[in-house]
Amino acid sequence: MKKQKLVLIGNGMAGVRAVEEVLKLDSEGFDVTVFGSEPYPNYNRIQLSKVLQGDTEIADITLNTWEWYEENGILLYPGETVTSIDTVNQTIVTDKERQVSYDKLILATGSVPFMLPLPGADKEGVTAFRNIEDCERMIEASLSYKKAIVIGGGLLGLEAARGLLNLGMEVDVVHNSNTLMDRQLDNTAGKMLQKELEKQGMNFLLEKQSAEIVGESRVEGLRFEDGEVVKTDLVVMAVGIRSNMKLAEESGIPVNRGILVNDHLETEVPNVFAVGECAEHKEMVYGLVAPLYQQGKEMAKRICGETGNGYQGSVLSTQLKVSGVDVFSAGQIIEEEETKSVTLFDDWRGVYKKVLVNDGKITGAVLFGDTKEGTRLLNLINKRAPIEEYMDNKGAEEAGADLIASMPDTEMICGCNGVTKGAIVEAINAQGLTTVDQVKGCTNASRSCGGCKPLVSDLLAHTAGDAFEQNQKESICACTSYSKEEVMEEIKAKGLTYTKEVMNVLGWSSDEGCSKCRPALNYYLGMLNPAEYHDEKESRYVNERLHANIQKNGTYSVVPRMYGGVTNADDLRKIADVADKYKVPLIKVTGGQRIDLFGVKKEDLPNVWSDLDMPSGSAYAKGLRTVKTCVGADYCRFGTKDSMGLGIKLEKKFEGLNTPHKVKMSVSACPRNCAEGSIKDVGITGLDGEFEIYVGGNGGTHLRKANLLAKVKTEEEVLETTAGFLQYYRETADYLDRTSAWVEKMGLDHIKSVLANKKTFIELNHRMDEALSVVQDGWKQALEDKTLLRDLYQNLKVPAGSN
């Protein structure tokens, strides 16, 4: 049967989940095309709070990898915005003038942050907090500026404020009412929350009306209506969101506060659906993922021609993601005339619980300081349970009964994803799951805000018993319970030689593995057996497979190697000729002292490399990127050493080496450290008669100053110590750990003691030499292998917006 064309506008959390639901019901029925204005695959927007707070990284919040789209045959156009819909001829047009027809269209355009229309709101230093760019903007501001104001004391504002405090800024939160989170908490809980956050260092300006953002081109202060001006370098607006429905409205699809939909998420226009924050269902527009995911499930049934009761609306519950503060609320928050409540207020322990009752039925709850009962209360509110049900169980809990054991199977464990205790227990028993990650992989529980992780963990301990206890170690991914160390042991003991074999022999739960374990296994296998192992291109991330970095607009960047940042007229001429011939729109000098050609079309990549005839700079690789050097003794009057010469030697020695994550190095010829060794994975400083070797520095999001590993006398010793350090990192780090994280994990003293052991040091160097003996240049290898060339550059299914 001919496949139907399903087009999704909006590559965000609600839209992509809805597509997952469609594929679950009918994996063969649709050709799916996805447009997303943001230049990324679908990521967990919720976790941006955690990124800002320094608990996770942007790289770790991807929900659906590039490979996921590819594997499911989905055509993704990232960084491309749909600008109009012709609902009569069933076509859409994008800002790149691409026209695509559809049989079924899903609008999942989300929300736009509401920006207060204050005079001065367009100044530099004023931002929303909605997407990766906003998050990066705040992190960047924290590197140069000291003071921030967050306007809005709701969930978003408080999570942003906690993040900015963690980034070392002073933070004022400006709120227009006298209670924080006034949409989610009552006055008592709001005041307790304020006290707790003040202890953490937040300053509150309550009942304040902002009037103007003052400053020249950049924000310098915020003026209130009462005339007071508070100084600031950054203003974050977190005063709510508005449905993003402009496209729908302009295309004649009926809207109100959102795009109007019925119980099956159908708009009033045939074959056009809307889901997520852009949709309005029964006068409600939702701003949390739980209802959006429920909507997606019901919509998928209708799209796949299945029957269902349709979406019936959701009871909202919220939890603030600020560590050290437990707040939960659900359903009704404030008492009405007929409302009764069960209240506990323990000022001593800082615990407050209020359960609201109408007609003997539980209708809402507010918890502060102890939120263990949150999920249970949400379940009771959802089924409008009689208050006795809560009180009876409360007795059991107080008598010490196990909360998890006493939960019925129908009770919800993961509110975001609608996963019940019964579903998790069934998955644990049927598939022998022993880790939270595995439960996430199989059931979706804990895949969104992560708030239910402790409950999932308790449930695992209760259901899997010993197996869970033994498995407190981190498994590589949800496909297996094996840790990295165990997998490496098994590879060595059983002589395993390729990724599928490892998965097979070690009983992976999925035959194909996943985007987390495939690249990791490929790395571990190659590292353990460099001479024999055939690198599996298909197990690498897409940038590494293509030997180029995909850019926002779907084109690629090309960086030839420029050893030690030193170049010559011939190379510069070649680069200029290539730039002219392929109409390269941007030539940029990088922070690593080389030249980047931006905007190269995918189909031009092989010819560009061939014409350049220079080694690849591996700017895409988990391997040595750059060795930055200062000008050194030959030219600088402070220089004590030939920093450029040593930099070139280091780069020539380690280029092409695979490492768990990217590695950046530098060499400076005096302690003035012009090549910035204190933020490099390996930074060398030349002194009179010796070199200092610093390791584990990081200049990115998680700034880390490098530690002094060793002082040595000669260049030879620098090369050997670097080799010993890098090989030990290669052998013991988890795949995707930067040296900064690894040094913290292992401890500097431990690494020093390993390298101080002469025998171990020689063996590490020996194994490094073995690894280096087989490295190949990525571009050369691709150019020489015609099959590879064809597979990589002609068969790639993700056009990523390419022309």
Annotated binding site for [4Fe-4S] cluster: 630, 636, 670, 674
Instruction: Pick the closer one to ligand SF4 by CB: 687 or 756.
Output: 687
Helix 786-794, helix 605-612: angle, nearest 10: 130
Per CB under 6 A, 638 contacts ligand SF4: yes
HSE, CB side, 13 Å, CA atoms: give it for residue 797.
Answer: 15
| Beta partners for residue 386, in sequence order | 361
Helix 605-612, helix 569-581: angle, nearest 10: 150
425 within 8 A of 432, measured Cβ to Cβ: no
CB of 17 to ligand FAD, least distance (A): 8
Instruction: Pick the closer one to ligand FES by CB: 37 or 44.
Output: 44
Per CB under 6 A, 579 contacts ligand FAD: no
Out of ligand NAD, ligand FAD, ligand FES, none, what residue 151 binds, judged by CB under 5 to 8 A for its kind, is ligand NAD
Q: Which stretch binds ligand FAD (CB under 6 A): 6-14, 462-470, 481-489, 770-778?
A: 6-14
Known binding residues for siroheme = 674
Out of ligand FES, ligand SF4, ligand NAD, none, what residue 450 binds, judged by CB under 5 to 8 A for its kind, is ligand FES
CB of 156 to ligand FAD, least distance (A): 6
- How many residues at the interface with ligand FAD, by CB under 6 A? 36
Contacting ligand FAD within 24-63 (CB under 6 A): 35-38, 45-46, 48-49
| Beta partners for residue 128, in sequence order | none
Sheet harboring 556-558: ordered strands across? 549-550, 556-558, 595-600, 586-589
- Calculate the CA dihedral of residues 169, 173, 174, 178 and round it to 10 degrees: -160
| Beta partners for residue 76, in sequence order | 34
Pair type for strands 4-9 and 104-107: parallel
CA 590, CA 587: separation in Å to the nearest integer? Answer: 10
Alpha helices in 420-528 (DSSP H): 421-431, 436-443, 453-464, 466-470, 484-494, 499-505, 517-528
Q: DSSP string spanning 42-102? A: -B-GGGHHHHHTTSS-GGG-BSS-HHHHHHTT-EEEET--EEEEETTTTEEEETT--EEE-
Helix 132-144, helix 155-166: angle, nearest 10: 40
Q: Contact with ligand FES (CB under 6 A): which of 167, 300, 449, 712?
A: 449
Q: Which of 729, 733, 735 has its CA nearest to residue 767? A: 729
- What single-letter DSSP state applies at residue 705? P
Structure tokens given for 22: 């469609």
Instruction: Pick the closer one to ligand SF4 by CB: 604 or 642.
Output: 642
Distance set, CA 53 to CA 13, 128, 145, 169, 517 (Å): 21, 16, 17, 12, 27
CA 121, CA 239: separation in Å to the nearest integer? Answer: 14
Out of ligand SF4, ligand NAD, ligand FES, none, what residue 241 binds, judged by CB under 5 to 8 A for its kind, is ligand NAD
- Say which residue the tokens 């190949």 belong to: 776
Contacting ligand SF4 within 612-631 (CB under 6 A): 630-631
Out of ligand FES, ligand SF4, ligand FAD, none, what residue 15 binds, judged by CB under 5 to 8 A for its kind, is ligand FAD
Q: Contact with ligand FAD (CB under 6 A): which of 65, 81, 457, 510?
A: 81
CA 353, CA 344: separation in Å to the nearest integer? Answer: 5
Instruction: Pick the closer one to ligand SF4 by CB: 350 or 671.
Output: 671
CB of 568 to ligand NAD, least distance (A): 53
Binding site for ligand NAD (CB under 6 A): 116, 151-157, 159, 174-177, 182-183, 210, 238-241, 287-288, 318-321
Give the 3-state secondary structure of residue 344: strand
Out of ligand SF4, ligand FES, ligand FAD, none, what residue 156 binds, judged by CB under 5 to 8 A for its kind, is ligand FAD
Q: Which stretch binds ligand FES (CB under 6 A): 72-80, 197-205, 444-452, 558-566?
A: 444-452
CB of 213 to ligand FAD, least distance (A): 21
Q: Which stretch binds ligand FES (CB under 6 A): 188-196, 441-449, 673-681, 766-774?
A: 441-449
Amino acid identity, position 315: V
657 within 8 A of 771, measured Cβ to Cβ: yes
- What single-letter DSSP state applies at residue 539? G
CA 407, CA 462: separation in Å to the nearest integer? Answer: 12
37 within 8 A of 148, measured Cβ to Cβ: no
Q: Contact with ligand FES (CB under 6 A): which of 193, 452, 460, 612?
A: 452
- How many residues at the interface with ligand SF4, by CB under 6 A? 13
Instruction: Pick the closer one to ligand FES by CB: 62 or 781.
Output: 62
CB of 643 to ligand SF4, least distance (A): 6
| Beta partners for residue 711, in sequence order | 692
Out of ligand SF4, ligand NAD, ligand FES, none, what residue 288 binds, judged by CB under 5 to 8 A for its kind, is ligand NAD
Instruction: Pick the closer one to ligand SF4 by CB: 415 or 632.
Output: 632
Instruction: Pick the closer one to ligand NAD by CB: 16 or 320.
Output: 320
Out of ligand FES, ligand SF4, ligand NAD, none, what residue 636 binds, judged by CB under 5 to 8 A for its kind, is ligand SF4
Per CB under 6 A, 152 contacts ligand FAD: no
CB of 238 to ligand FES, least distance (A): 20
Structure tokens given for 577: 């000729």
CB of 686 to ligand SF4, least distance (A): 7
CB of 269 to ligand FAD, least distance (A): 16
Burial class of residue 676, CB neighbours in 10 A (0-12, 13-18, 19+): middle
Pair type for strands 126-127 and 234-237: parallel
Distance set, CA 472 to CA 369, 460, 464, 465, 761 (Å): 27, 11, 12, 11, 32
Out of ligand NAD, ligand FES, ligand FAD, none, what residue 45 binds, judged by CB under 5 to 8 A for its kind, is ligand FAD
Known binding residues = 630, 636, 670, 674
- What single-letter DSSP state applies at residue 415? T
Per CB under 6 A, 639 contacts ligand SF4: yes
Q: Which of 236, 255, 231 has its CA nearest to residue 245? A: 255
Q: Contact with ligand FES (CB under 6 A): which of 49, 109, 448, 740?
A: 448
Out of ligand FES, ligand NAD, ligand FAD, none, what residue 415 binds, judged by CB under 5 to 8 A for its kind, is ligand FES
CA 717, CA 678: separation in Å to the nearest integer? Answer: 20
Contacting ligand FES within 394-433 (CB under 6 A): 414-417
CB of 63 to ligand NAD, least distance (A): 17
CB of 231 to ligand NAD, least distance (A): 18
Contacting ligand SF4 within 654-683 (CB under 6 A): 668-670, 672-674
Q: No. of H helices and E strands in the chain? A: 28, 36
Rg (CA), the chain: 28
CB of 115 to ligand NAD, least distance (A): 11
Out of ligand SF4, ligand FES, ligand FAD, none, what residue 446 binds, judged by CB under 5 to 8 A for its kind, is ligand FES
- What single-letter DSSP state applies at residue 583? T
Structure tokens given for 447: 């895949």
Residues at the contact surface with ligand FAD, assessed by CB under 6 A: 9-15, 35-38, 45-46, 48-49, 81-82, 108-111, 129-130, 156, 244, 247, 276-277, 287-290, 292, 321, 416, 449
| Binding positions for ligand FES, rule: CB under 6 A | 414-417, 445-452
**What residues make contact with ligand SF4 under the rule CB under 6 A?**
630-632, 636, 638-639, 643, 668-670, 672-674
